[in-house]
Amino acid sequence: MNATTIDKKIGTHNKVTFPKFIDYNIPYLQKDFVGFKEALAFKESQGKYTAVNTLGYLGKYQFGRTTLQRFKIYNTQAFLNNPELQEKAFIALCKVNKWILRKDIQRSVGKTINGVKITESGILAAAHLSGAGNVKKFLRSNGAIRFADAYGATIQSYLKKFEGYDVSIIKANRFATV
């Protein structure tokens, strides 16, 4: 049985079909920080804390080893088995990226580049994908300098997919720690 299963009600003269309701218990995500991080996690790993992709990126948010080392996380197995640590690392990375990109956020939010409205949440998601430096290059070149990861995801696609979330709860912090 799936979402397109149909129940048939047969009357004396007419045949009427109604879709059958199936509760998949899919959460509705609001456009707040929780919605942002859960949507990004689903895009990265389907929200699985123990995920490791073919390139070795780790966890729910698909961290690279060098990013983890920036937060003094060296034991990748322990990281994979610690959801609380992964959540803290994600928040710390958002804070650092927001600090690195603070001037670009100020200059770019509200503009449209290649048909994509630039928002703070889109910028933070793109930085998670490609690193803050590549996002700076993209924004400062008005979209001429592009980036795609090994799987084909682009800065532009992340700017669009993750636009419009309220991420004001994240405060820029150059020295954020886990």
CA pair distance 155, 141, nearest whole angstrom: 13
**If pLDDT is split at 50, 70 and 90, which confidence band does 3 have?**
very low
Q: Percent of the chain beyond pLDDT 90?
A: 83
**If pLDDT is split at 50, 70 and 90, which confidence band does 19 have?**
low
Q: Which residue, among 95, 69, 73, has the nearest Cα to 84 in the 3D structure?
A: 73
Bridge pairing between strands 6-10 and 15-19: antiparallel
pLDDT tens, 51-110? 999 999 999 999 999 999 999 999 999 999 999 999 999 999 999 999 999 999 999 999
CA pair distance 79, 66, nearest whole angstrom: 13
Whether 6 has a pLDDT exceeding 90, the answer reads no
Any idea which residue has 């197995």 for tokens?
77
Cα-based angle 130, 131, 137 (whole degrees, multiple of 5): 85
Q: Which secondary-structure segment (H or E) carries 70? A: helix 65-70
User: 45 vs 3, 60, 138, CA distance in Å?
Assistant: 24, 5, 25
Radius of gyration of the chain from its Cα atoms, rounded to whole angstroms:
20
pLDDT at 29: 72
Whether 24 has a pLDDT exceeding 70, the answer reads no
Whether 4 has a pLDDT exceeding 50, the answer reads no
For 12, phi and psi rounded to 5 degrees? -70, -30
Q: Which residue, among 70, 102, 104, has the nearest Cα to 89 in the 3D structure?
A: 70
- Give the mean pLDDT of 121-126: 98
pTM above 0.85, yes or no: no
Q: Are 113 and 143 in contact (CB under 8 A)?
A: yes
pLDDT at 2: 44
pLDDT at 158: 98
